[in-house]
Amino acid sequence: MKIFKNARIFNGDSFLENKSLLVDDGKFIAVANGNSFSGLGVFDMKQQLIVPAFIDAQIYGGNQYFFGEFPSVKALEATYQYCTKGGALHFVPTIATNSLEIMLQGIEAVKEYWAQGRKGVLGLHLEGPYINESKRGAHLKQYVRKPELDEVKLLISKGKGIIKMMTLAPEVCNKEIIKLLQKNNIIISAGHSNATYSEAMKAFDEGINIATHLYNAMSALNHREPGMVGAIFDSGKVQVSLVADGHHVDYAAIRIAKRLLADKLFLITDAVTENKEGYYRHQLSGDKYVMPDGTLSGSSLTMLQAVKNSIQYADISLAEALKMASLYPARVLGIDHHKGKIEKNYDADFLVLDDELNIQFIYRGGELIDVA
């Protein structure tokens, strides 16, 4: 057993002061009163803040390895290391609109990564290719397409237990395709969509309750046609991701969305990395990534920076920003029964933060890691 005494703890619901956290065999055992523990395996947190590890449901690569176009175990490991530095001990590697071949390579890379016993990957996110061309953003035009049953069945067969999420435009996919994906436990997220308000509301009423990167690559809120943004605001049940880097979305728009959506809004990085080959040639421009023609193509965020930005620029409370990076994405991914909180029998993956919210230590898989 390991004991982390003299700590402030955010357990996923509230802040607990002057507590000791007990961990054993990779699980949280208890939050105890008192700090009199001593001996081997006892660590003094000196009133630093312990929070649940973050979860990133959309990231394409890291540390110069672009998994989104060149999927491999090595790219997944590089992305995991990038995520870990930003507090995300769990992530969903993402492939944007591409060929069937690349998607199948991504499936095989995740399968092999798991077979090697490596950590962090929760499954694969296919962002496309079944999207609306008019809202493709930086996605490859030549691979945007409507789904064909044979291809979808192949993806389901090859990706069973591996494909965790798929972003698609509901207006270009028939109901039977969507139901088939959902029947096979693939989370459907509406995105890169030009759906009207009515089309979006219909999709939400028929069981799609997730949406991808609010405001970006979706039909905007207009007073005569509220679009997908209006439908998300109006539905009351759609959980939606957001990129809090100040480039994808203005911070005032984040503040408005938070007031309207409350616990339905969660953070992703949508992060890419520099890529000099292939079609997705991401180039760093300041603190964002763009394509060679200047199109915004991804962020340079970490989840920790997204949390800090939400607090500093969007007036979101510390507690809510932490939930947006941990508990809420855990709910979206259906893993909130064992991740996203500091609670008895939950997986003991957590961060230790100083007063400036900088990571001092990471605890994962039974190991305390110093990253200061």
DSSP secondary structure string for all residues of 4-67: EEEEEEE-SS-EEEEEEEEEETTEEEEEEE-----STTEEE-TTPEEEEPEEEEEE--BTTB-T
- Look-up: residue for tokens 């064909």? 148
- Distance CA(43)–CA(216), nearest Å, equals 44
Instruction: Please give the C-alpha separations between residue 226 and each of 195, 199, 222, 223, in angstroms, as whole numbers.
Output: 10, 11, 5, 6
- Distance CA(331)–CA(273), nearest Å, equals 27
Told to judge if 370 belongs to the known catalytic residues of this protein, a careful annotator would answer no
> What interhelical angle do 303-314 and 251-261 show, nearest 10?
90
- Distance CA(229)–CA(2), nearest Å, equals 46
Instruction: Please give the C-alpha separations between residue 23 and each of 3, 7, 17, 167, in angstroms, as whole numbers.
Output: 6, 14, 18, 37
Catalytic residue (choose from 56, 270, 336, 349):
270
- Distance CA(70)–CA(275), nearest Å, equals 10
Kind and range of the H or E run holding 176:
helix 175-183
Q: Is it true that the peptide bond before 129 is cis, omega within 30 degrees of 0? A: yes
Instruction: Please give the C-alpha separations between residue 340 and each of 64, 181, 308, 325, in angstroms, as whole numbers.
Output: 28, 26, 18, 9
Kind and range of the H or E run holding 231:
helix 227-235
Contacts of 207 (CB under 8 A, 6+ apart): 178, 179, 182, 188
Count of C-beta atoms within a 10 Å radius of residue 281: 17
Name beta bridge partners: 15.
10
- Distance CA(31)–CA(24), nearest Å, equals 12
| Residue 190 burial by Cβ neighbours in a 10 Å radius (0-12, 13-18, 19+) | buried
Where in the sequence numbering do the catalytic residues fall?
270
